[in-house]
Amino acid sequence: MYEVEITHIFLIFTKAVPDGQVALLKKILAQQSDIRLTVKWIDDVGSMELSGGEDAVMQADTVENGYSVDLTESVNKENAVGKSVADRAIDTVNKAGISNLWMTMDNHPADFCITDIPKLCRLAATEQIPSLLFLHEGNKNAPMQQIPYAVIDFEGIDYAYLCDIYKRFFHIPWTILETERCVLREMTPEDLDALYEVYADPEISRYTENLYEDREQELAYIKDYIEHVYRFCGLGIWVIVEKQMNRLIGRAGLAFRDGYDTPEIGFIIGKEYQRRGYAYEVCRAILKYCKDLDMKTIRVVYQRENLASVELCKKLGFTITGSFTEDGKDMVTGEITI
């Protein structure tokens, strides 16, 4: 299991963020009793009568930790003219020192940031701080490069979601689900040796595509899959880890076949662990996972002569919907409504 803990979240907002949204977010995060929450409001400096030497103040108050933080910096009126509120706020932050922004008076650093300032998300990344952007009318047209996560409403956001963003930022695999005996999680480059052990038996690749013979090529494929499938799709083929021995015993998950919009379930179990019910246990859990995500239909494709898959798909409740020939092999398609 790859668990993380976020201990200190900074909320850094301009006045464009509705008070109701901030209150909702505080309420959600307050459910995590051991988390530290610091809220910083960045004033709309455009509405102030600024002159040389006058301060634009980033007001800050800390929730449930008994102190407040004040960060002030002079902003020249000429520099403020013609800039957006967010850009002028960033000017203030830059002059004060970006590293100082993430520290409280007792030197407790932030390890996550939620803000409505796009540029601040990018600055946070340079400090190795993952972030979540709140979108509104005032920032929706701003450049969004290098900002992978944004929301228009905090309804539905929870601590687990923030932990997933944190994991993605630091390349920590997501745990997808658990069954009685297994954990299904994303692949990592460190799984390479274990995967080659699973595929060592020729029977494993009889009905499915094998790994690359060149291990470096397979490693490159895994890294690319993590970056472009897990990160952007959220779904994919995951590894099955047997809990008791903490051993990788196979793969299972969801993929999209060219020409189809419906996700397709697939699985492979290492020879040593076959005929023990692991495939049924994991695939049944995946179908429940799909139902929880409000998916309606799941496809399956298998070779007709693969009797183990025929048996498993019947047990899971799949209905045969057709057949086709691929590379001289007689293939069967099936669907299940969940």
CATH classification for the domain delimited by 175-337, as one of 3.40.50.300, 3.90.1150.10, 3.40.630.30, 3.40.50.1820: 3.40.630.30
Write down the pLDDT at residue 82.
45
Q: What is the pTM of this model?
A: 0.79
Query: Under CATH, which number does the domain 8-169 receive?
Result: 3.40.50
Sequence-ordered list of residues with C-beta below 8 angstroms from that of 53, at least 6 positions apart, any chain = 74
Strands in 92-242 per DSSP E? 112-115, 131-134, 150-151, 175-178, 182-185, 237-242
Domain with CATH 3.40.630.30 in the chain: 175-337
Distances from the Cα of 23 to the Cα of 18, 155, 319, 333, angstroms = 9, 11, 48, 50
Domain with CATH 3.40.50 in the chain: 8-169
Confidence of residue 48 (pLDDT cuts 50, 70, 90): very low
- What is the Cα 329 distance to its own chain's centre? 37
Confidence of residue 211 (pLDDT cuts 50, 70, 90): very high
The amino acid occupying position 248 is L
Read off the pLDDT of residues 161-195 as tens digits, 9 standing for 90 and up: 999 999 999 999 999 999 999 999 999 999 999 99
Rounded (5°) CA angle 288-289-291? 60
Read off the pLDDT of residues 290-308 as tens digits, 9 standing for 90 and up: 999 999 999 999 999 999 9
Q: What is the DSSP string of 194-237?
A: HHHHHTTSTTGGGSSPPPPSSHHHHHHHHHHHIIIIIHHHS--E
